[in-house]
């Protein structure tokens, strides 16, 4: 699959001038913004241009660090609204006729497949960079989103005091000794969890065998929480002995608690993080978002990603040839991984999430 270069395409809105940033501030408890003073920019004809910042929906832990570094370099204001993946996806879909966002950064390209089917994504936005093999494989053919890194969904975190021989495969979790000891997240809320569910279904041979696996886990006392935090708290409190979470959360838990260790059962599903851009945003905003994407895939952008949340989301595997993962990460070559097709599994996401809610969560 070849990387897609920037090319000509139809865009919406009028061309505006570059925006200039003078300060960093907050715009309420749910978002952080980098704002510029009103009237600081002028149009090509010399008239004052209204400053409209990039509205950056994010489900990524290093978002503020990357946005601040981008703004410092390019003087483009960025307004961040941070939400869980499921919440952000619902917001974008609800505002499809009057979008409130400029770009979205989250884990899991199946989410962008859903948006692309609704014609909500700008295409041909993938810059020419030196991808790794896995990075190149994560680039979509239509350039409707841009991969930015890899994690694993899911890793297995266990309490070493209670578990001496952790499961080596996912089917091992169905053995009697693991009854009432396993917890995981809700895929309709936690973005990395749906790719894990889809990966299980893919590796087991289809949707129905996958459903049977999760039904068996439920009958064995599977504990469901909304996100990583409550699931790992249940592990720390002794409510469960095994937590199935995204690898970034798993490695972070291992670093913070000497009682925890991480296992990667066979097979581990690769989970790309990705950025998508609103197809209905003004042309100038789209161009600024593309500049943000190019920055993320630069050395400076990768540095901001890796230092912005060093005990959390920064624990990802880079997909650029000249960027190394943080030292706390095990070599990816030591993990047997698989990739799911984001298009085919993206089409099934709503139905599978609904089934999971009705049959596993409730």
- Give CATH for domain 152-270+334-361: 3.40.190.10
Q: Are strands 337-338 and 260-263 parallel, antiparallel or unpaired?
A: unpaired
Q: Please determine, for residue 10, whether its predicted confidence score (pLDDT) is greater than 80.
A: no
Q: Which two tokens stand for residue 24?
A: 């960093």
pLDDT attached to residue 334: 86
Query: Is the pTM value of this prediction over 0.85?
Result: no
pLDDT attached to residue 178: 97
Supply the DSSP symbol for 269: E
Domain boundaries, the chain: 23-149+274-329, 152-270+334-361
Class of domain 23-149+274-329 (CATH, top level): alpha beta
pLDDT attached to residue 333: 87
Give 156's strand partners: 244, 263
Supply the DSSP symbol for 359: I
Which of the four pLDDT bands, split at 50, 70 and 90, describes residue 4?
very low
pLDDT attached to residue 191: 87
Q: Please determine, for residue 32, whether its predicted confidence score (pLDDT) is greater than 90.
A: no
Whether 296 and 66 have beta carbons less than 8 Å apart is answered as: yes
pLDDT attached to residue 50: 59
Supply the DSSP symbol for 117: H
Q: Which residue has the higher pLDDT, 93 or 47?
A: 93
Q: Please determine, for residue 90, whether its predicted confidence score (pLDDT) is greater than 70.
A: yes
pLDDT attached to residue 52: 74
Which of the four pLDDT bands, split at 50, 70 and 90, describes residue 51?
low
Mean pLDDT of 54-60: 96
Question: Could you please report the per-residue DSSP string of 204-232?
Answer: HTSHHHHHHHHHHHHHTT-EEESSHHHHH
Mean pLDDT check: name the lowest of 38-47, 115-124, 195-204, 315-324: 38-47
The yes-or-no answer to whether 23-149+274-329 and 152-270+334-361 have a common fold is: yes
Instruction: Quote the CA–CA distance of 211 and 193 in Å, as a whole number.
Output: 15
Whether 346 and 272 have beta carbons less than 8 Å apart is answered as: no
pLDDT attached to residue 91: 96
pLDDT more than 70, % of the chain: 86
pLDDT attached to residue 304: 98
Residues 6 or more apart whose CB falls under 8 angstroms from that of 99 comprise: 92, 120, 278, 280, 281
> For the chain, what is the mean pLDDT?
88
pLDDT tens for 136-175 read 999 999 999 999 999 999 999 999 999 999 999 999 999 9
With b for 16 or more beta-carbon neighbours within 10 A and e for fewer, the 87-106 pattern comes to ebbebbeeeeeeeebbbbbb
Q: Please determine, for residue 28, whether its predicted confidence score (pLDDT) is greater than 90.
A: no
Closest CA to 353 of 121, 90, 82, 57: 90
Mean pLDDT of 325-348: 93
Instruction: Quote the CA–CA distance of 47 and 348 in Å, as a whole number.
Output: 49
Which of the four pLDDT bands, split at 50, 70 and 90, describes residue 1?
very low
pLDDT attached to residue 48: 46
């Amino acid at each position: 699959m070849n990387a897609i270069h920037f090319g000509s395409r139809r865009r919406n809105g009028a061309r505006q001038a570059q925006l200039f940033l003078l300060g960093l501030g907050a715009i309420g408890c749910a978002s952080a913004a980098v704002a510029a003073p009103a009237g600081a920019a002028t149009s090509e004809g010399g008239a004052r241009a209204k400053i409209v910042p990039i509205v950056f929906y994010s489900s990524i832990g290093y978002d503020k660090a990357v946005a601040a570094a981008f703004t410092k370099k390019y003087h483009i204001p960025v307004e961040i609204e941070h939400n869980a993946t499921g919440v952000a996806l619902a917001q974008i879909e609800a505002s499809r006729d009057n979008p409130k966002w400029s770009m979205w950064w989250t884990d899991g390209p199946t989410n962008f497949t859903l948006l692309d089917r609704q014609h909500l994504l700008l295409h041909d936005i993938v810059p020419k960079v030196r991808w790794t093999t896995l990075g190149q494989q994560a680039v979509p053919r239509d350039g409707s989103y841009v991969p930015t890194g890899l994690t694993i969904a899911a890793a297995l975190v266990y309490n070493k005091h209670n578990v001496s021989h952790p499961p080596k495969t996912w089917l091992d979790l169905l053995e009697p000794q693991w009854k009432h000891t396993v917890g995981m997240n809700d895929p309709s809320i936690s973005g990395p969890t749906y790719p894990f569910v889809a990966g299980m279904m893919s590796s087991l041979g289809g949707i129905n065998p996958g459903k049977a696996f999760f039904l068996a886990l439920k009958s064995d006392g599977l504990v469901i929480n909304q996100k990583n935090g409550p699931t790992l708290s249940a592990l720390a409190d002794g409510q469960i002995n095994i937590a199935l979470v995204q690898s970034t959360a798993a490695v972070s838990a291992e670093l913070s608690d000497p009682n925890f260790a991480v296992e990667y059962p066979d097979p581990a599903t690769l989970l790309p993080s990705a950025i998508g851009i609103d197809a209905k945003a003004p042309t100038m905003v789209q161009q600024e978002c593309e500049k943000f994407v190019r920055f993320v895939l630069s050395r400076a952008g990768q540095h901001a990603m890796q230092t912005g949340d060093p005990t959390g989301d920064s624990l990802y595997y880079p997909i650029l040839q000249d960027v190394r993962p943080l030292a706390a990460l095990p070599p990816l070559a030591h993990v047997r991984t698989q990739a799911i097709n984001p298009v085919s599994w993206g089409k099934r996401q709503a139905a599978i999430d609904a089934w999971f809610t009705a049959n596993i969560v409730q």
